[in-house]
Amino acid sequence: MTQRTSEITVGLFMVAGFAALLMLALQVSGLSLKPTSDTYTVYADFNDAGSLSPRGKVAMAGVSVGRIRDISLNQKTFQARVAIEIESKYDGIPADSSAVIRTSGLLGDQYIDISVGADEASLADGDSFFETQSAMNLERLITNFASGR
């Protein structure tokens, strides 16, 4: 093993390491190389935010269009105020669309689904959804059903 060959092997080793890290970044964590700044923020007020969490999925017709940035309690209405970042390329979402909390599968994560409205105007940065539908609470559903209401 001469100095030269060991240098080359070590070089290849380091390159393999970087390639693996790049693979973890792009393929595994789905990191895109585009700057993440091109989003706009809209708000949705829910009576019950369920188990939504920051970084959660926001979808429209099953296609991921954004992420949940932040969830806080509105002290006046005592509703959950969810800040949603939507990618700028989806800029034509009708202003009267509604935000619905859905569950993926029976036991999966909860996510926000935007069901499309009919308004000609579009949601812009800082707008809020008119209509929201809170998380389906399985326990409450069963209680309601059992008490016959």
Q: Is residue 118 a contact residue for another protein (CB under 8 A)? A: no
Name the CA radius of gyration of the chain, rounded: 22
Among 6, 47, 72, 137, binds another protein (CB under 8 A): 6
- Tokens representing 142? 């069963």
Among residues 29 and 75, whose Cβ is nearest to another protein?
29
| Binding residues among 98-117 for another protein as defined by CB under 8 A | 105-108
Q: Which letter does DSSP use for residue 93 in this model?
A: -
CB of 16 to another protein, least distance (A): 6
Tell me the two tokens of residue 128.
């809020």
Q: Under rule CB under 8 A, which residues in 16-55 are in contact with another protein?
A: 16-17, 20-21, 23-25, 27-31, 55
Does the protein bind another protein through residue 61 (CB under 8 A)?
no
> Binding residues for another protein, per CB under 8 A?
1, 3, 6-7, 9-10, 13-14, 16-17, 20-21, 23-25, 27-31, 55, 57, 64, 105-108
